[in-house]
Structure 1
Amino acid sequence: MSPVVEKLNPRKPSALSIKRDAQRGNKRGRTVAINEITLEEVRDDAVKFGLATEVLYQMNAGKEASIYLAYWKNFPLILKAYRFWQSAQAKKSKGFFAPGRMQVIAAKEYD
């Protein structure tokens, strides 16, 4: 994996859309069971998508996201895992838009 951070490409599928589509299958979004994120899920996703090499523990949790202490090789970093289906600013009528929008806002802010 390249040490350079990749710029946001709006046409490239995001980690959020890949995971959402895999979990949803051929069902409508409203029929998919909603589960709370777990440390094991965050560990698996962080390693799978190349965000961290190790996730140690959850530091804090709120209504929108959970904060985890992780490592990329020998460097400590903080992971913020947003709730997958809902956040404080999302309504059920908006569906999946709010988490996807948060990803785009974060990419633009830190690019």
Structure 2
Amino acid sequence: MEGLRLDYLLGERLFFYRSQGSKARAYARTWGLPKIWQHALGTEPAYIIEVISGYFDKLSPKEQDKVLLHEISHIPKNFSGALVPHTRHGKGSFKGKLEILIDKYFESYD
């Protein structure tokens, strides 16, 4: 995973959760802890990446990796608790940056 430039991710503040029985149609979701909650709870920013097992588990390992990279891409470089949306006017293409990240990730296995 070296070379992916993901060192801004704080491992102790990044959590993973597996949901079962969800009615959501997504494979996974990213949840951030907004500033108001951080202040109210007296805690630091944190993120949860939730995989919806009914959909996620049916994917191949390669597709699961792509889904997780997609979700990680929603976490901004300042690790503030906010989320990066799919559409960011004037900030470049989310999809384009994700494709570069995925390509670099799979290059590391070659």
Provide the TM-score with structure 1 as the length reference.
0.30
Larger RCO, structures 1/2 (Cα 8 Å, 6+ apart):
2
Select the structure that is richer in strand.
Answer: 1
